[in-house]
Amino acid sequence: MIGPARAPVSMRVNGEIHEIELEPRVSLLDALRDHLSLTGSKKGCDQGTCGACTVWVDDRRVLACLTLAVACEGHEISTIEGLATGGDLHPVQSAFIERDAFQCGYCTSGQIMSAVALLKEGNAATDEEIAEHMSGNLCRCAAYPHIRAAIRDVRDADTTTSGRA
Amino acid sequence: MSNAIGKPISRVDGRRKVTGAARYTAEIELPNLAHCAVVGAAVPSGRILAIDEKRVHDAEGVLAVLTHDNLTKIASQPPLLPSLAGGPAPGETFFPMQDDTVHYAGQPVAMVVADSHERAQYAASLLDITYERADSITTIEEGRATAYEAETLFGGLMPARNERGDVETALAQAPVRVDVDHHYAANHHNTLEPSATTAVWDGERLTLYDSTMGVRATQLTVAQLLGIPIAHIRVITEFVGGGFGGKAMTWPHVTLAAMAARHVRRPVRLSLTRPQTYTSHGHREEQEQRLSIGATKDGLLTAVRHEKLSVTSPFDDWAEPATGVTSQLYRCENYLGLHRMIRGNVMTPTFMRAPGESLGVSTLEVAMDRLAYATGVDPVELRLRNRASVDEHGNPWSSDGLEECLRTGARLFGWDRRDPEPRSRREGDWLIGSGMAVAAYPMAFMMPPQQARVRVYADGSAVMQCGTQEFGTGATTAMAQVAADGLGMDMNDVTFEAGDSDLPNASASVGSMGASMVSAAVHNAAIELRRQLVAMAVADTGSPLHGADASAVVVEDGRMSLGDGSAGAGETYAEMMRRNRLSMKDALGDWTPPPMDAPHGMMTFGAQFAEVAVDPDIGLVRVRRMVGVFAPGRVLNPKLARSQLMGGMLWGMSQALLEGNQMDPRSGRWGASNLGEYLVPVNADAPDVTVEFVDVTDEVAGPLGVKGVGEIGQVAMAGALMNAVFHATGRRLEALPMAAELVMDPPGTSA
């Protein structure tokens, strides 16, 4: 038969360890969605162009569709499902609701994972900076001005995450 | 009575969307799920000579290979009618894999089903298909000589030609004449969620999880294609990742998923890949629009001729109707609008946001801008001078608001500070220009009666149900508001359920009619149940309201009273129901739309203003600000309506600056088939947008007077931007999108 054999992989996602069997060609995105039932990360293009699959690997933003799951062994993966603490939304999640920073919601997980990261990175000092650093995440509903407003709100509410400029 | 309607309430599904908990079609978990990979034709025309499957069957996990040799034949092909009409609504009248003929590149020619996504995709890549290619036509340029005038559009619902007076004579005699001749590239929806369908058979019964803007359309179309009873099909779509018209019709992949699932006797998920979305659910067609205006020296219109030429498929006369606004926005006695088509080797084009009129009105409004310069009349004043107070049949608008939209927009934008002289404003390397356009979009009451069902439980909670869909419009939020107000309850006690064909009938949410028609049914259901509950109370000897005049009873927060506060006589629905041992009570509400020939002009109006900065050396256009003012009737939720209008305006910007796909006539394939090459705006492209409402009351558009906001935001924004770029650079553009080489100063000219 043609095709690679499955092999055991240990994945640490949102602080939890999962032991699963994967073919080495399985992307991190498909591993999350099809094997771990974590469908919050979205598949908009599977080609690295839309950003809907944005997750963090060791706190760095990556496109899960262009990352092989087996290459993530030994690394900490964070997804949208791990962002809220208990029942409390992350401030960026709350701000997205308040500012109506989404419509269909399909890009939203990726937008929020990017937004939280860029605040941490210190890349949110100005609207221009926010726009530039959020431009890897497409929103076809074009909620972009509201996405900027949501990020601004969180930046201004918490001085520890303000941009370094 | 209006406690929730009109309030800027946040989305009821917001929490699920920001936590990743909202499950879209391709995320539904099912035991024993198989995955289907579709293989599209590599040539645009010809036939399949051979399909070599041998290596596919050697691949791990393959369950089936389906081709025209072994796929079930369809039972019968429904005609092409818009899904709003409420019947079967195939996107095209061609069903693939019935024989060896290839009509367009990307047409499904095989399916490979395997036990995992990766295995299906890989196995499909091993399929070896040999074609005999025939000559093809895929562009206007190739097919110009074969163009024909269509008799009707939209499956016969609309005439392709519309004429009054004597336009040729009037044009010839006009003191002032302007002519525009534009080319518009094809557009693709690119919803961020690619269309997907999961099919599950249980004996003779079929459940389809489908990313659709119309569960009923999917149900009826698939039933006819498969030849099974409608009652045996249930269609579910809880969350849809964007529609924009790309999920408005039922395309072949939906039924193919059902056929594949029946073949392998397992649930099958068919998820289009991003490249496949460019050849699987239609597109906005490549088109040319020509428009001529004859006018007096004061700028009053005497003649308008508007012609559209576009490429359709080999099977269907499909063109977005582009002249429904041109025919009646301005007073003009002599008018001709017509649509010509070319049969090409492409799939049938389809609705795409603000279908037809996004470009139709843009064309008109560029011509009006030229007329403003030709006559020396201010562009806003020119529109005010010409605007019609009645439609093309002489019927008054059901509601208007255009004049106030124009005046409010001009004020918010600062139009009076504009120097009309082209190329008169420079800031460093940038030329600054501004432009405006009127937006208008017709309301089409072609839907059958709409229904909703509501149920109040004895604990004081309620559920409103309607077979509509949530694809980002905010329907589930706005309809909960409508239901709460109709029942006289707090919105937190009311749940709105949608996205299931088992629920009462609604047509597909298209043409900006979703909010209008669904809110009408929901409102009617709610007030019917309230009427029944109040009638029970006044007839009930155990009720404090026994014997009261039912018409004097008010309901607030679920409590019936005579409006004399909480101390006065009264009781809650829940108290009355529990006393009568009623666990629940429900009612069905329906709404019949006004007839198509009702004596009212049905149109939604708005005005668009934009400012651009153009670098004439490199042809770069940046939109600096946009102002849109709209009169969409009653606004159910201004927060969500503003978002939709803002999105529409940015779609117009995108259409003007970025979006366009070029067909390669040699291969007969689209040049772009991914989001790296088909450009859509990113965050840094999108300026801040001002959206304002003009309040108009509409007595015709349903009991709440809702006119809808899905399309109007986009209409003519591209035209406003074309006018703004002219104002900045002094040169007219004649094609969209505005490629840099079209915008930049020609070589040898100096700035």
The residues pairing with B51 across neighbouring beta strands, listed in sequence order, are B129
Tokens encoding A106: 């399909």
Confidence of residue B598 (pLDDT cuts 50, 70, 90): confident
Nearest to A103 among B24, B472, B689 (CB): B472
Contacts of A23 in chain B (CB under 8 A): 116, 118
Flag whether B330 is in a domain: no
The answer to whether the Cβ–Cβ distance between A93 and B18 falls below 8 Å is yes
User: Hey, is the C-beta of A20 within 8 angstroms of any chain B C-beta?
Assistant: no
Closest CA to B388 of B343, B433, B345, B440: B440
Confidence of residue A160 (pLDDT cuts 50, 70, 90): low
Give B468's contacts (C-beta < 8 A, 6+ positions apart): B475, B479, B498, B499, B506, B509, B514, B518
Flag whether B663 is in a domain: yes
Contacts of A40 in chain B (CB under 8 A): 19-21
Residue type, A1: M
Residues B210 and B95 in one domain: yes
Cβ B189 vs Cβ B244: under 8 Å: yes
Residues B106 and B120 in one domain: yes
Cβ B116 vs Cβ B60: under 8 Å: no
Nearest to B239 among A47, A50, A105 (CB): A105
Tell me the C-alpha to C-alpha distance, in Å, between residue B681 and each of A140, B98, B246, B677, B684: 8, 39, 18, 12, 8
Give B356's contacts (C-beta < 8 A, 6+ positions apart): B319, B320, B321, B322, B323, B324
Closest CA to A113 of A17, A9, A33, A14: A14
Residues B462 and B435 in one domain: no
Question: Does the pLDDT at position B750 exceed 70?
Answer: no
Mean pLDDT value of segment B702-730: 97
Chosen for mutation from B13, B19, B627 (greatest number of chain A CBs closer than 10 Å) is: B19
Residues B579 and B623 in one domain: no
Residues B586 and B604 in one domain: no
Closest CA to B643 of A7, A36, A139: A139
Tokens encoding B470: 């949530």
Residue-level pLDDT at A165 = 35
Residues B512 and B631 in one domain: no
Flag whether B298 is in a domain: no
Residue-level pLDDT at B425 = 97
Catalytic residues of B: 711
B218: closest CA of chain A, how far (Å): 20
Residue-level pLDDT at B153 = 87
Question: Does the pLDDT at position B568 exceed 90?
Answer: no
To which H or E segment does residue B201 belong?
strand B196-202
A73: closest CA of chain B, how far (Å): 20
Residues B124 and B222 in one domain: yes
Residues B359 and B503 in one domain: no
Instruction: Annotate B362-406 with DSSP letters as a single string.
Output: HHHHHHHHHHHHHHT--HHHHHHHHB-SB-TTSPBBSS--HHHHH
Flag whether B668 is in a domain: yes
Question: Length of chain B in residues, anyone?
Answer: 751
Confidence of residue B276 (pLDDT cuts 50, 70, 90): very high
The answer to whether the Cβ–Cβ distance between A46 and B117 falls below 8 Å is no
B14: closest CA of chain A, how far (Å): 6
Task: Write out the E strands in chain A.
Answer: 7-13, 16-22, 54-57, 60-63, 76-78
Between B264 and A158, the more confident residue is B264
Average pLDDT over all residues of chain B: 96
Residue-level pLDDT at B751 = 52
Question: Does the pLDDT at position A148 exceed 90?
Answer: yes
Mean pLDDT value of segment B680-707: 97
Residues B666 and B705 in one domain: yes
Confidence of residue A164 (pLDDT cuts 50, 70, 90): very low
Task: Using CB atoms within 10 Å of the CB of residue B616, give its burial: 0 to 12 exposed, 13 to 18 middle, 19+ buried.
Answer: buried
Question: Does the pLDDT at position B462 exceed 50?
Answer: yes
Residue-level pLDDT at B564 = 83
pLDDT per position as a tens digit, A14-35 = 999 999 999 999 999 999 999 9
pLDDT per position as a tens digit, B76-132 = 999 999 999 999 999 999 999 999 999 999 999 999 999 999 999 999 999 999 999
Say which CATH number the domain at B124 has. 3.30.365.10
How many domains in chain B? 3
Closest CA to B66 of B116, B109, B106: B109
**CA separation for the pair B353, B363 (Å, rounded):** 16
Average pLDDT over all residues of chain A: 95
pLDDT per position as a tens digit, A33-85 = 999 999 999 999 999 999 999 999 999 999 999 999 999 999 999 999 999 99
The answer to whether the Cβ–Cβ distance between A138 and B26 falls below 8 Å is no
Q: Which residue of B has its CA nearest to A148?
A: B683
Mean pLDDT value of segment B643-660: 98
To which H or E segment does residue B54 belong?
helix B54-58
Flag whether B148 is in a domain: no
**CA separation for the pair A4, B704 (Å, rounded):** 60
Scan residues 116-145 of A and list those with Cβ closer than 8 Å to B: 128, 130-132, 134-145
B21: closest CA of chain A, how far (Å): 6
The answer to whether the Cβ–Cβ distance between B27 and A33 falls below 8 Å is yes
Instruction: Provide the ipTM.
Output: 0.97
Domain of B204 in residue numbering reads as 32-135+192-242+247-278
Residue-level pLDDT at A86 = 86
Question: Does the pLDDT at position B75 exceed 50?
Answer: yes
Q: Which residue of A has its CA nearest to B469?
A: A104
Residues B643 and B735 in one domain: yes
Mean pLDDT value of segment B673-702: 97
Scan residues 59-98 of A and list those with Cβ closer than 8 Å to B: 79-81, 83-84, 89, 93-94, 96-98
The class of domain A91-159 in CATH terms is mainly alpha
Closest CA to A53 of A13, A73, A80: A80
Question: Does the pLDDT at position B498 exceed 60?
Answer: yes
Residue found by looking up tokens 């920073």 in the block: A101
Cβ B270 vs Cβ B252: under 8 Å: no
Residues B579 and B693 in one domain: no
Residue found by looking up tokens 């949102």 in the block: A14
Residues B394 and B375 in one domain: yes
Report the relative pairing of strands B108-114 and B34-40 from DSSP bridges.
Answer: antiparallel
Cis peptide, bond prior to residue B159, ω within 30 of zero: no
**CA separation for the pair B253, B240 (Å, rounded):** 16
Task: Using CB atoms within 10 Å of the CB of residue B422, give its burial: 0 to 12 exposed, 13 to 18 middle, 19+ buried.
Answer: middle
Residue B682 sits at φ, ψ, to 5 deg, of: -105, 175
Cβ B461 vs Cβ B493: under 8 Å: yes
Nearest to B10 among A42, A97, A103 (CB): A97
Task: Using CB atoms within 10 Å of the CB of residue B707, give its burial: 0 to 12 exposed, 13 to 18 middle, 19+ buried.
Answer: buried
pLDDT per position as a tens digit, B437-448 = 999 999 989 999
Residue-level pLDDT at B139 = 98
Q: How far is CA B509 from the centre of its chain?
A: 8
The answer to whether the Cβ–Cβ distance between B19 and A52 falls below 8 Å is no
Nearest to A140 among B24, B26, B242 (CB): B242
B440: closest CA of chain A, how far (Å): 21
The CATH number fitting domain A7-82, selected from 3.40.50.300, 2.30.130.10, 3.10.20.30, 3.60.15.10: 3.10.20.30
The residues pairing with B699 across neighbouring beta strands, listed in sequence order, are none
Give B43's contacts (C-beta < 8 A, 6+ positions apart): B102, B105, B131, B133, B136, B668
The answer to whether the Cβ–Cβ distance between B19 and A89 falls below 8 Å is yes
**CA separation for the pair B281, B83 (Å, rounded):** 14
Residue ranges matching CATH 1.10.150.120 in chain A:
91-159
Flag whether B381 is in a domain: yes
